[in-house]
Amino acid sequence: MKDYDVIVIGAGPGGYTAALQTAKNGLKTAVIERDSLGGVCLNVGCIPSKSLLKNAELARTLRKDSKTFGISCDNLNLDYAAAVQRSRKVSKRLNQGVAFLLKNAGVDVYFGTAAFTDAHSLHVSLNDGSEDDFHAENIIIACGTKPVEIPGMEPDGEKILNYRQAILHQTLPDRVVIIGGGAIGVEFATVWNGYGAAVTIVEMQSHLLPNEDAEAGAELERSFKKQGIKIKTGTALCGVDKTADGVVVHLKQDDAESAVEADQVVIVVGFRSNAPELSLDKAGVAMTARGWIEADDMCRTSVPGVYAIGDAAGKVLLAHAAEAMGRMVGDLIAGKGPKPLRYDLMPHATYSHPQVASFGYTEESAKAAGVDYKVGKAGFIANGKALGLGENEGWVKLLCDAQTDAIIGAVMVGPEVSELLPELSLAAAHGLTAGDIARNVHAHPTLSEVIMEAAGEI
């Protein structure tokens, strides 16, 4: 049996960050990963999708806006396969970077599938066909999630795809239906629309990005429609029929049934935890009815010495949240007494065109919680930097406590707004007010001036 101070199950953003932190703190650490270092985010999620989005931005500019920028594209040739191949190179480079960091930190990496045999022991079926047993007083579960599958519409990789298959597919569909208008769905729509595909998004809720501010979802919907993307909100998926040429997607809105023909349908309706595959019952780790691991704000499970971070804990399914949890738990195990994370201030970013970014309270959640708030709002329509970029759609909306003016949330729609989040979440974490933001000098011309203007409206 191999013995360690810390064993981390899963080498995604949370897992490898936790391993690096525990190794940095002088603890003998191992990582067990059944697939690829970097997890979903690095290999088939956040990173390759941003590479594809950059390609789509260039394609969209050359296809639709070239005359605006004085560029002639009469014989434009767009190679979508080359874009996918570039995204794979980006992922491979970062995958190798994670391997280097772990090796340099002295973390032992094992590729295989782990299962608990008791609270502090694991049996691992290694990918090379051998098996081994491991023991550690501290085990960090960072096993991530898998896409939800709808019975009778399971992905085949050709006509019915999940996000993993879609991001690796090197053939651009002429017509595609995306089931799910969340972050992944709208990002795929942005990529394929940029290359000229006919895209239809189907969302069961009343607006795109149903977990975001309703006004932001409506703003994105207006922009998508202008770009030629078809939107069907408040619409349920009834079934998918495969045909010789593609698929027929059957839908229902209220009592009206309809059908959409396409080359492919991509189903991105949610995730479920990989944790049930770890034999957690043998460790005594408590789980929720929906399959998430029960963990407190410090990521401690019901079993001392066993922790759950990232998607496995089901708190915030975001890579940067997992990384933050990994660092916190790495310091907690080492006895450094880290502060608990502010999950309510965790930033959210959607890399559609335009982007959507937020943190903290939305108007809907503030009302539901009985929070008395004020709103300050300003648009990009007259922002010099946005006009120079040719992207002046959208706005910044700040939410502040009605009595103190302390910032309690924000939502932004517009160019590169994901890059504007840290100023606001840092301000909220330290109790700064809208006045503090408004009085802070922002460089001109920058997109961040819209934040200053919104703060000045409080």
For residues 447 and 391, the answer to whether their CB atoms sit within 8 Å is no
Angle at 16 between CA 11 and CA 18, to 5 degrees: 125
Long-range CB pairs of 364-367, under 8 A, 24+ apart, other chains included? 364/213, 364/214, 365/409, 366/399, 366/408, 366/409
- The pair phi, psi for residue 194, each rounded to 5°, is -60, -30
123, 320, 353, 444: which one is catalytic?
Answer: 444
Q: How many angstroms separate the CA atoms of 181 and 15, rounded?
A: 28
Structural tokens at position 316? 């915030």
* 444 catalytic residue (yes or no): yes
Burial class (CB in 10 A: 0-12, 13-18, 19+), 340: exposed
The catalytic residue positions are: 444
